[in-house]
Structure 1
């Protein structure tokens, strides 16, 4: 599915964390097609990342990669300053990086709790704090946090993820208030099930545990109760991100926008 809306972002610089795959990568492509220069962030094979940078560069915009490990506080805190040093500023900040760990609460390791909170919540806070002065001085900024439908509900065996995503939603609302008179908006996208590499690993793990095929596991355990009976597509997430970057969305701030096929209303 192609994103067929157009938003003029020429001259803007967008940092998208977790953008070497999945929703972040598709968002990087869509913003680049609309004129934004891209600070790509994330882990991955160097050859694959080089290919992505070439693809974005072929769209006529600047693109650079930053490989900071957001689970390490110092690296997370240095990401935005290093992007600004290399590219001049950050006009659009999309805090999209996320990780998952699934376990019953009595078995949940301390290390995994701290790792998930660091990547899924603390990294968003430190990135916003570092990007804020420039956005404030320019009286323009777009901050979008990738939350989840699990920012509004819960699911068993995901204590750290659910806690972090609830925190992301609270952070979003706080930053929206602080930016309301400064031309800075802050919103959260709340995807439902999107077949990203993160979700694919969850499907594969459940399929292995149940002795089912991948497709049967998807049908019986992931999309069975969704009104749309399908995963959300990464292009649909990217389209929502693009709209929230636009001038048309300048009065939309502090919202949690579900892109989930109505999963939270059933």
Structure 2
């Protein structure tokens, strides 16, 4: 329970990587606020389930991460936080000259601007306590690029840069900020894509995973949401007190190429 007594806010965390991170933070004893833009009974039930299974306080707070004021209000409604995990993100694929302007603006808002707003709102409280951990979930695409993903790549490169700047501005204040850069992670969203890819390529499950979906990931293995959560918990632990301004790849060797 190395994070007992700490309050963590994880954006975009009612499924996938964000939920995996919330799960591991709760296991480590942190009070956790999970978030998405919906406000359904099942969102609050998810928080209650996490709380019951790990014996910690867990709340769900709805907030639209495309809205800067809502991002800042999330931190206020949470009562501040010791740990901030900026995970919310969306994707759209299109050539630059055909990329919808609305899609570009929304991706930049949710993937990059939200991290700026939540960080700005959380830092005063962290400074007052003399302790804080900010972990920004970037991507392998924060370190390298792919065609047709201009907005996502630009946003994730921005997240890595924001993490470095935050680290420099908080150095020596008991606060660290790092970016985690996952490659392909086996989430329910990715899992749902596998049957379609099997049909399109006329391949069995293992072959389509290895040769199509993980073609750029040398390990030919998905990272897991548990591994993502474990990496975040490590960055919040005393072992990582001197790790700040760093981009940590969890990508099976993708960015080593």
Structure 1 length as normaliser, TM-score?
A: 0.89
Task: Please list, as runs of the form range in 1=range in 2, the aligned pairs for 1:68-217 lying within 5 A after superposition.
Answer: 68-84=63-79, 89-200=80-191, 203=193, 207=197, 210=200, 212=202, 215=205, 217=208
The answer on 1:39 being equivalent to 2:33 is: yes
SS at match of 2:45: helix
Please, which moves more after superposition, 39-48 or 206-215?
A: 206-215
User: Which whole-Å CA distance do the structure 1 matches of 2:198 and 2:63 have between them?
Assistant: 32
User: Which whole-Å CA distance do the structure 1 matches of 2:199 and 2:142 have between them?
Assistant: 27
The answer on 1:60 being equivalent to 2:55 is: yes
**Aligned in 2, Cα 1:204/1:67: closer, same or farther, shift over 3 Å?**
farther
Q: Is the 8 Å Cα contact of residues 206 and 217 (structure 1) preserved in structure 2?
A: no
**What is the CA-CA distance between 1:210 and the residue it aligns to?**
4.2
**What residue ranges of structure 1 are gaps of 5+ in the alignment?**
1-6
- RMSD of aligned alpha carbons: 2.1
**What residue ranges of structure 2 are gaps of 5+ in the alignment?**
none
Could you list the per-position Cα deviations for residues 212-258 of structure 1 after superposition, in whole angstroms to 9, with x for gaps in the alignment? 56835433322134322111111111110000001111100000000
User: Which whole-Å CA distance do the structure 2 matches of 1:221 and 1:208 have between them?
Assistant: 10
